[in-house]
Amino acid sequence: MSDPRVDTRLSVFKTYKLYVGGKFPRSESGRVYEVSDAKGNWLANAPLSSRKDARDAVVAARKAFGGWAGATAYNRGQILYRVAEMLEGRREQFVREVADAEGLSKPKATAQVDAAIDRWVWYAGWTDKIAQVVGGGNPVAGPYFNLSSPEPTGVVVVLAPQESSFLGLVSVLAPVIATGNTAIVIASEKSPLPALSLGEVLATSDVPGGVVNILSGRTAEITPSLAAHQDVNAIDLAGADEVLAKELEIAAADNLKRVLRPQTVDNAQWFATPGTERMTAFLETKTVWHPTGSLGASGSSY
């Protein structure tokens, strides 16, 4: 006789929620939409974010910016590495979610998740090196100390790639926060669940609330107000199609947001080791001058 408990146990579904300001709200609109796997089977209901949710995310990201940008690069690196650690522990869950979302076999989904975890580690190592690579002293023709250093641009809206629901997402998010920006991520519209689960990992990885905010819903519905938002400093159009990208770039001109245009990246290319472009796209260069004075022209021989 079989154990009746096995036969009758109903699995516990997960209610997926947004991740805004370190909390997990439902959409302010109270709306959800059906998310299916690659074969069209229902997986879960994801929050259908409203423009109000987007505005709340901007407020949270702005509030978090000073602290995150002001944290030491070493500290940011530690936290990014912590994200990788926490992901490693929930590897199986993400493999399942990515396999479901993208219709991948288990080995293929595993490769995606492993690459995504490794990417966090890669960017964790960049936080305290980027300034040395892209900044430096300038030999001006005069008695001045003159130093250029990179600084984060501010609040960055990231349209996650539509196809690569997790590796693509991590590949565009990690560089933005590695350099001290705060982010509002619009998850892949079709496959938002790995992104929403990532929020749960970030919340337990010492990433301060508001540094990353994750919204799910209709990309074309949420993003125009973010592209036009006066308190957003930059936008990464990775997940926008050509028509939407142009519309958002025009809206972004209103306060001269930094715009990273969509690049043609197929799913295989996300595996390649990135360059620094995704970091430098959201950095400003600050140059500080100071007189050095002169100790006289007598020509000391050291």
Partner 1 sequence: MTIEKRSSAFEYAPAPESRAVVDIAPSYGLFIDGEFVDAAEGRVFKTISPSTEEVLSEVAQAGEADVERAVKAARKAFEKWSALPGAERAKYLFRIARIIQERSRELAVLETLDNGKPIKETRDADLPLVAAHFFYYAGWADKLDHAGFGANPRPLGVAGQVIPWNFPLLMLAWKIAPALATGNTVVLKPAETTPLSALFFADICRQAGLPKGVVNILPGYGDTGAALVAHPDVNKVAFTGSTAVGKEIARTVAGTRKKVTLELGGKGANIVFDDAPIDQAVEGIVTGIFFNQGQVCCAGSRLLVQESIQEELLDSLKRRLSTLRLGDPLDKNTDIGAINSAEQLARITSLVEAGEAEGAERWSPACELPSSGYWFAPTLFTNVTQAHTIARDEIFGPVLSVLSFRTPDEAVAKANNTQYGLSAGIWTEKGSRILAVANKLRAGVVWSNTFNKFDPTSPFGGYKESGFGREGGRHGLEAYLDV
**Residues found near partner 1 in the complex (CB under 8 A):** 133-134, 136, 138-142, 144, 146, 148, 153, 233, 242, 245-246, 249-250, 252-256, 258, 261, 275, 277, 284-291
Q: Cβ 139 to partner 1, closest distance in Å?
A: 5
Q: How many alpha carbons fall within 13 Å on the CB side of residue 270?
A: 26
What secondary structure letter does DSSP report for 19? B
For residues 260 and 278, is the Cβ–Cβ distance under 8 A?
A: yes
Distance CA 24, CA 179 (A): 25
Give whichever of 92 and 284 is closer to partner 1, judged by the CB atom: 284
Give whichever of 223 and 233 is closer to partner 1, judged by the CB atom: 233
Q: Cβ 153 to partner 1, closest distance in Å?
A: 8
> In one letter, which amino acid is 156?
V
Give whichever of 109 and 158 is closer to partner 1, judged by the CB atom: 158
188, 193, 196, 198: which is closest to 168 by C-alpha? 188
Give whichever of 291 and 296 is closer to partner 1, judged by the CB atom: 291
Residue with tokens 């991740």: 19
For residues 197 and 83, is the Cβ–Cβ distance under 8 A?
A: no
For residues 172 and 161, is the Cβ–Cβ distance under 8 A?
A: yes
Q: Cβ 255 to partner 1, closest distance in Å?
A: 6
Distance CA 100, CA 106 (A): 9
Give whichever of 26 and 261 is closer to partner 1, judged by the CB atom: 261
Distance CA 246, CA 24 (A): 32
For residues 175 and 274, is the Cβ–Cβ distance under 8 A?
A: yes
Q: Cβ 261 to partner 1, closest distance in Å?
A: 8
Q: Cβ 246 to partner 1, closest distance in Å?
A: 3
Give whichever of 113 and 260 is closer to partner 1, judged by the CB atom: 260
Q: Cβ 154 to partner 1, closest distance in Å?
A: 8
